[in-house]
Amino acid sequence: MNDSLSTTEGAVLGLLATGERSGYELAKLAEAGVAYLWTPSRSQIYKVLPRLEAAGFARVREIEQHGRPDKALYKATSKGLEALREWLEEVEDEPAGGRVVFALKLFFCGLASPATALAHLAAYRAYLTRRLEAYQQLEAGLGDEPRGYAEHVLGHGLARVRATLEWIDETTAAIGTPVRSAST
* 128-167 pLDDT tens trace: 999 999 999 998 888 777 678 888 899 999 999 999 999 9
Q: In this structure, are strands 58-63 and 71-76 parallel, antiparallel, or unpaired?
A: antiparallel
CATH class of 7-92: mainly alpha
Query: Which pLDDT band holds residue 2 (cuts at 50, 70, 90)?
Result: very low
CB contact set of 120 (below 8 Å; sequence gap of 6+): 91, 102, 105, 106, 109
7-16 and 42-54 helices, crossing angle to 10°: 80
pLDDT of residue 38: 85
pTM of the model: 0.82
Cα end-to-end distance, the chain, whole Å = 43
* 160-170 pLDDT tens trace: 999 999 999 99
Write down the H helix ranges in the chain.
7-16, 23-33, 42-54, 78-89, 102-107, 114-140, 149-175
Domain chopping of the chain, boundaries: 7-92, 113-175
